Structure 1
Amino acid sequence: MWEMMKEIRELVMLFLMALCSKLTATSGKTMTIRKWQVPAEDSYCLSWRLGVETNNIRAWPIVPNQCLRYVESYMILGQYERDIDLIIDQVMDYVNDDVVLSNDGFDAWILDVDDTCISNLFYYQGKRFGGDPYDPKGFKEWALKGVCPAIPGVLRLYNKLIKKGFRVFLVTGRSEATFGQTTLNNLHSQGFLAYERLILRSDEYKGMNALEYKSEIRKNLVEEGYMIWGNIGDQWSDIQGDYVGIRTFKLPNPMYFVP
């Protein structure tokens, strides 16, 4: 494959050289071929986001200052939505082509809530798209408003899962005591209905990090008899650990990291 690509590149260069020679011969002027270059700052930020999404860059506290404009553009100018849709299309293919449900009432699918089902984009817009340190008080005030919009691609998938017969579990690290009713109302208002269970963090799981907590929730579901066909989240801690399911899918999120 690489040898073929090398040959193609050589043929292209020969063609361009011949074209330049012809233009020079006919016009007496030299043709300059300009190379397209990504600005150095954007080039670094592209690499930084790749590192984040592949989990090679971990435990980062805030978006690097030089990448604030890049992350803003990524989140609001359409590429984020296109990336979500591409991933959701892959999930749809898996659901349609590879999953054969047992229809015994124990075919399960797990979805994270924040920035998977519903979006906190408007909140993080006020936080310079992740350029400011995490603010527990500020996020609490935002989440208690219950106005997070649905992420359209995920809602489309959700309706497909429900229609196909999955038992869908919405699992979030939000505190049950603080955010329980607000989160339920927010999800319902955005079209997330008919799920099997909304699971929030109870006092029993206080002190666990996200990976430990979600692993324990999945363990409990498996012990109840559920087969986890799929598991989707925007953080690596959503889809790593124990009992992750047959397939996991990571949605992009360059605004914050949850261990």
Structure 2
Amino acid sequence: MKKICVIFLVVSFFFSSACSDETSDPYLLPKPSILQYPSEHEKVDGEEVNLYCTSWRFAAETNNLAPWSTIPAECADCVKDYVMGRGYAIDLERVSEEASIFASSVEFSGDGKDIWVFDIDETLLSNLPYYIDHGFGLELFDHSEFDKWVERGVAPAIAPGLKLYQRVIDLGYKIFLLTGRKETHRLVTVENLINAGFQNWDKLILRSPDEQHKMATLYKSGKRDEMVKEGYRIRGNSGDQWSDLLGSSISQRSFKLPNPMYYIP
């Protein structure tokens, strides 16, 4: 019995000592351990950089970031590895497959007014060769330099985009191409599209001179409004920017392609 009492007193002593270090109030429990997560502004390296940049890319793709003009400097290699690797290709294929499944499920009205809207850049045509030379989004966007690239007319097709394009044509949709490219680039854009394998679209809509300074969301919403007023039903819409998809007269289903290199509001 004496041994039990001694043990109890010793345990009680250590417990009371530990509690007294936390607080002098006997009715308060000791403070719990709190996990401290590093803020996005803290310097990180190695695996932490990969985690941070994966999180940043997720936020960019889900439209959770405030408008941004360049990718974070520490994410340059991560973005490069993604767009040059298998991950980007798999993501593009997934979007194409899901869009194709939906396109096949739509019941047409039979009046020729069911349409699918496609953006062009990073949706049908890839500007990756341009961005390889311009930091994969690390540099501020240079309109004049990009115009020079467009005028070369050598952007390759995005293979899953071409596959979806051909599929929706086979299903009987009318194809409207709605791009932020300038009207002055119509001829070179047509040639580039045809050379890359895209044919038989019904409309190609480019920005007129008086639309150059419109935000993309407003510009593309306005063009979709016109389609709806003309009696068209926008069944599907494919684009790499949220500004391709949001706004007014949105499609029955919208399909966002990945693009961590730039953001267009």
- Please confirm whether the aligned pair reaches a TM-score higher than 0.5, indicating the same fold: yes
Separation in 2 of the partners of 1:86 and 1:161? 16
Does 1:161 find its partner at 2:168? Answer: yes
> What does residue 51 of structure 1 align with?
59
TM alignment of 1:72-87, pairs within 5 A? 72-87=80-95
Equivalent pair of 1:168/1:195 in contact (CA under 8 Å): yes
Deviations 1:193-244 (A, max 9, x none): 0011111011342321100000000000111110000011000000000001
Could you tell me the TM-score, scaled by structure 1's length? Answer: 0.83
> What does residue 88 of structure 1 align with?
96
Residue of 79, 98, 110 corresponding to 1:71: 79
Give 3-state SS (helix, strand or coil) of 1:258's partner.
coil
Q: 1:245: how far off?
A: 1.0
The residue identity in structure 2 corresponding to 1:134 is F
Larger radius of gyration: 2
Residue of 208, 211, 217 corresponding to 1:202: 208
Equivalent pair of 1:155/1:192 in contact (CA under 8 Å): yes
- CA RMSD of the aligned region, Å? 1.0
Separation in 2 of the partners of 1:103 and 1:203? 36
> What does residue 115 of structure 2 align with?
108
Give 3-state SS (helix, strand or coil) of 1:199's partner.
strand
Separation in 2 of the partners of 1:204 and 1:257? 22
> What does residue 150 of structure 1 align with?
157
Aligned length: 220
Separation in 2 of the partners of 1:204 and 1:194? 28
Q: 1:59: how far off?
A: 1.2
Equivalent pair of 1:107/1:228 in contact (CA under 8 Å): yes
Separation in 2 of the partners of 1:62 and 1:141? 20
Give 3-state SS (helix, strand or coil) of 1:180's partner.
helix
Tell me which stretches of 4 or more aligned residues in structure 1 moved more than 6 Å. none
Residue of 229, 236, 242 corresponding to 1:230: 236
Give 3-state SS (helix, strand or coil) of 1:69's partner.
helix
Give 3-state SS (helix, strand or coil) of 1:119's partner.
coil
Separation in 1 of the partners of 2:175 and 2:264? 23
Does 1:61 find its partner at 2:79? Answer: no
Q: 1:174: how far off?
A: 0.7
Does 1:241 find its partner at 2:247? Answer: yes
Q: 1:96: how far off?
A: 1.8
Separation in 2 of the partners of 1:58 and 1:68? 19
Separation in 1 of the partners of 2:210 and 2:197? 29
The residue identity in structure 2 corresponding to 1:95 is A
> What does residue 187 of structure 2 align with?
181
Separation in 2 of the partners of 1:85 and 1:94? 14
Give 3-state SS (helix, strand or coil) of 1:144's partner.
helix
Q: 1:72: how far off?
A: 0.4
Separation in 2 of the partners of 1:218 and 1:130? 29
Q: Give structure 1 stretches of 5+ with no counterpart.
A: 1-37
Equivalent pair of 1:62/1:132 in contact (CA under 8 Å): yes
Q: Give structure 2 stretches of 5+ with no counterpart.
A: 1-45
Separation in 2 of the partners of 1:249 and 1:139? 25
